[in-house]
Structure 1
Amino acid sequence: MHPVLVKTFGGLSRAYYIRQFLFGLIFPAFTLFMMTRGRSGPTDVGLPLALLFALNTLLYPYARFVYESAVGFVMGNNVFFVNAFLMLFVKAITMLLCWAFAIFIAPIGLIYLYFHHSKAEQQRN
């Protein structure tokens, strides 16, 4: 595999990527389910929408990595005690936004991972 691909797309741990990927599958699955249950009958998804769903789902773990890194930087080690339902609602909204805009957010994470792993490789050598 090409070193650039390993440094970028292989930059997240396998467990993290799989976990986030499975969470990312929730949104296209729900959308496709709703599209097939309309009153006027099933709606044709079409190739462009299917490609967008697939791309966003594959890139979602990298977008989520960017979001979690930014929130971790801003919040630090602080702990907040909030209503569990409110927290789950906010988490679901942030997950949806990360999935919907993964095509725009994920490149930031991929660039970061490339430079991070390049720097780590230089320090090892």
Structure 2
Amino acid sequence: MKKITILIQLTLCVGLAFAGFSAQAEDVKGSAQAGNAKVWLCTGCHSIPDYRADYPLVYRVPMLGGQNAAYIASALAAYKKGERKHPTMRSIAASLSDQDMADLGEYYAAQTASSPNNPLK
């Protein structure tokens, strides 16, 4: 009986810990204005039409203006976790917080597909 009680308590604690982590991740709200100060990391590649990066393979670098904010944040998180493999993006994403990713997502979502993707004025 004591083992069952301990198991129930342990299960409850683990469940609450995951619930707290999930709630914290959902509380991050991006700001396009805050992203404006962070976008300098991105413009060197993502503001050049038809740009191709050639290390270690040839990659077509997409323009990000008008992209969905949540998609950008989740793509950056995937690079940070190593789920996406481009080495430069993995390095950049490793330095970003969840807030940075959300801000960059909102910044690009505020742009249009034909925007030059330069910082907001």
Q: Which TM-score applies when normalising by structure 1?
A: 0.28
Higher helix share: 1
Q: Which TM-score applies when normalising by structure 2?
A: 0.29
Instruction: With a CA cutoff of 8 Å and minimum separation of 6, indicate the structure with the bigger relative contact order.
Output: 1
Task: Flag the structure with larger Rg.
Answer: 2
